[in-house]
Amino acid sequence: MKHLESNNQEQIIIDEEPDITDSGSYPNERKIDDLLDNCIIFVDKQSGPTSHQIVSWVRTMLNQKKAGHSGTLDPQVTGLLPIGLGNSTKALPILLYGPKEYVAVLRLHNSVNRDKLYDCLENFKGPIYQRPPQRSAVKRITRIRTIHELEVLDEESRLLCLRVLCEAGTYIRKLVYDIGEIMQCGATMIELRRTRVMHIDEQNHFVRLHELSDAIYRLKHENDETKFRQLVQPVEFIAKPLKSITIRCSAIDSLCHGAQLAIPGILKISKGISKHDNISILSQKGELIALADALLSSDDIVNNKKGIACSTKRVIMKPDTYPKLWKNAEND
């Protein structure tokens, strides 16, 4: 049994076989049409338009039939809006697995004791109860969301600048309102910016719409792909934090047609997979084939020769990307 590092995760090699070189492609080497169908753009949303308007603009600029986003931002909210094109829209739920970070500016309606305020903020760390506001895209039922980190970045008079690292689905405006209620002074959020989703932060990956427009112009009118490739990420990028299973070429198309992944089809796994972990299923080239729920741990997979390793939740790769070797094997 061999061990190696991949995406900063230790991998266990169960078996080896030659890759099929004339099917599929390495994520960073896709042809432009294939990239357009399998890419994510981390748009730096400005204040004003809705999230759906931003998606519509991007779809129109690139002449794509299908586009979607993860995590709606209100019109006045700025920051990270992940947009998937074509086939990559099926992978956007990955971004709900990890935390999100926001920077909020709030105004307290009255002056308060600073020690009591900081004690109040400390009490909001951890699990909290929230009920979505009336104007929201989800059912208004009380639910639990986790605040991982809450800190004051700056303060002046009754203005506070907060950094919030929280579970997906947390309403920051409601959090600000609740802080005002606990302090018995009232509070209003006046600015909000999303600065991070999972491992994606604004220092490395955010794209402004005018930058994207310039890159698209070069792509369409000058046949220059360089800038566009710099601004977009292959869909596999958002799956990096997930533990993974790499499978045989002969198992890929059967998985794309709805088959479950059995242990004999596995070549390599991440160390430390536990039952019910969200995992990614990859090709030998690193292509994202599907998202799955682990039915067996890493140790179970290593120590057994039979059994279903995971339950496929969503197939990302299009069928027939790889040959139907599973069908040929049945006919032999």
- pLDDT (tens digit, 0 to 9) for every residue of the chain, 332 residues total? 554 455 567 899 999 999 888 899 999 999 999 999 999 999 999 999 999 999 999 999 999 999 999 999 999 999 999 999 999 999 999 998 889 999 999 999 999 999 999 999 999 999 999 987 666 655 678 889 999 999 999 999 999 999 999 999 899 999 999 999 999 999 999 999 999 999 999 877 799 999 999 999 999 999 999 999 999 999 999 999 999 999 999 999 999 998 999 999 999 999 999 999 999 999 999 999 999 999 999 999 999 999 999 999 999 999 999 998 755 444 43
Report d(CA 313, CA 322) in Å as an integer. Answer: 20
**Helices H, strands E: what count in the chain?**
9, 18
Q: Is the pTM of this model over 0.75?
A: yes
Task: Establish whether 74 is a catalytic residue.
Answer: yes
Say which of 15, 37, 74, 154 is annotated catalytic: 74
Q: Which residue segments constitute the domains of the chain, with CATH numbers given?
A: 2-28+242-331 (2.30.130.10), 32-91+201-235 (3.30.2350.10), 100-192 (3.30.70.3190)
Q: Which three-class secondary structure state does DSSP give residue 89?
A: helix
Cα dihedral across residues 220, 225, 226, 227: positive or negative = positive
**Token representation of residue 170:** 């947390």
